[in-house]
Amino acid sequence: MSQMRLFSLKMNDGCFMPMLGLGTSAPPQVAKSEVEKAIKRAIDVGYRHIDSAYMYQNEEEIGRAIQMKIAAGTVKRSDLFYTTKLWSTFFRPELVQTCLESSLRKLQLSYVDLYLTHFPIAMKPGEDFFPKDTYGNIIFDTVDLCTTWEALEKCKDAGLAKSIGVSNFNRKQLEMILNEPGLKYKPVCNQVECHPYLNQSKLLEFCKSKDILLVAYATLGSDVRKKWVKKDNPVLLQDPVLNTIAEKHRRTPAQVTLRYQLQRGVAALAKSFNEKRLKENFQVFEFQLTPEDMQSLDGLNRNMRYFEEDSLSHHPNYPFHDEY
């Protein structure tokens, strides 16, 4: 059995997603060239799941790194699982494929393994990622998310995306897609913020009941240099309970938080461009947490988010108002 299949989760469309992925979202202070180097390092370490998005503006660099590793014979395209995301200014059905094709051109790829809606709020189409009026307010667009989903289904049918899913959806928004008359493909996953301080247990339970994978981002907390990250939250990796468990297993706190997700059946994205930490994070398959460890980590939940966006929070589709 291939390594990718061994450490993978089967999705509801029959495709497999590697349980551990490399997140690539970085604050503006990080040079784009660092992303390219990190992808090459990660592939050498053994990562086969790479998560990015149209909005991250780093897909040219990622594409170059992937092409170099394919040309060098390190990996074949079929070894890699690549995710990109539909940005909110492309939610009109006629623009959905345009956004994906733009990503594919930058990546120099003919398909992505997974295409997600990035955030359940439509914004005015155009060049700006966050279109604003003269008062500095975001200009939203009125688009039925179900029609956006139908356009994603067409991207799958066209072979441009092997699997399709959503990101940052709450239960209500997932149910809206699942209950859509004439639904052709249900989302394979819901990618959300998830870590011991926000363990998403109710959303995870709901997703499992519908055969939808939960994919966790901000698994290690988050970089306060990012625009959307709250600046005064406690640092997850300094948590005493987490550190006690890490010491017991002679592992790092990051390894323990990632292992926690894998044992819950959650696919975990970890963002690090540092070679030592890339290697450490990839060692999560080498140990197991005890039921007591898992219980202690469950007990850290405080429904605390690192990611919040105030400029979107008054929109009726803002997903974080609901507990799940």
Q: Which residue ranges are tagged as binding site for substrate?
A: 118
| Residue 135 is a catalytic residue | no
The annotation places the binding site at 118
Catalytic member of 47, 54, 56, 306: 56
Alpha-carbon span 70 to 112, nearest angstrom:
15
Residue the block writes with tokens 């996953």 = 189
Any idea which residues carry the catalytic annotation?
56
